[in-house]
Amino acid sequence: MPYRSSLREGNSSAYILIHNSGKDGQILFRSPADFDRFVVLVKQLLRSAETVRLLGFALLQDSFYLILHEQNRGAAARLIQRLSIAYSIYFNAKYEKTGKVFQGPYKDMLLSPDDQLMQMLCKVHGLPRLQHADAETYQWSSYRYYLTRRGTWIDKSFTQKYFANPSYQNDLRHMTAIVQVNLPWQPK
């Protein structure tokens, strides 16, 4: 899963939207245990990668979206590589399969730390609306952690600064409701 260094000219700190999907449209998360395993792996890898912070995520049956902030160039790429390998091993062992689990190298997009980052966070939080009725109650998204103030493993400081309000939940809820979900890699 190579990292596209062409996106990373210049300074070492960056906000990155990362996406990957199942090989040939295969379902990545067949059961709640699969979703849970992916989240546990993310948490474990974040603890060991001190220079990467998770700002948001959404897991759909056939894909995942992560918004990361890396303080050192390449740190997010190493984390995603480790995550992809660990989840592939888990998935292949559980379902008695071999070979690739993911479509190919992950896709990434450099985000500017302003309105673009907040819009992408709201779009990622809105993704569950495409497959489920209510994004607020969807279990495998960071959106519910933002609304309930739980999830200390998710860095919410940018959102608090963006809305200039430690009680930002209503502002975030409004913005997520009105933003259109059209990401560069739109789920089917």
pLDDT tier for residue 167 given thresholds of 50, 70 and 90:
confident
pLDDT tier for residue 150 given thresholds of 50, 70 and 90:
confident
Determine the angle formed by the axes of helices 115-126 and 169-178, rounding to 10 degrees.
Answer: 70
Interior CA angle at 1 toward 157 and 43, to 5°? 35
Classified as helix, coil or strand, 130 is: helix
Of 171, 166, 165, which Cα lies nearest the Cα of 149? 166
- Count of alpha carbons within 13 angstroms of residue 179, beta-carbon side: 23
Q: Is 70 exceeded by the pLDDT of residue 3?
A: no
Cβ partners under 8 Å of residue 45, min gap 6: 79, 82, 83, 86
Percent of the chain as helix, strand, coil, to the nearest 5? 45, 20, 40
pLDDT in tens, 23-46: 988 999 999 999 999 999 999 999
Q: Is 50 exceeded by the pLDDT of residue 187?
A: no
133 class by beta-carbon count within 10 Å (0-12 exposed, 13-18 middle, 19+ buried): exposed
Query: What distance lies between CA 169 and its chain's CA centroid?
Result: 19
Q: Which domains does the chain have, with CATH numbers?
A: 5-178 (3.30.70.1290)
For residues 163 and 171, what is the distance between their CA atoms, to the nearest angstrom? Answer: 7
Residue 5: the pLDDT is: 44
pTM of structure = 0.89
Under a CB-based contact definition with an 8 Å cutoff, are residues 106 and 20 in contact? yes
Q: Is 70 exceeded by the pLDDT of residue 7?
A: no
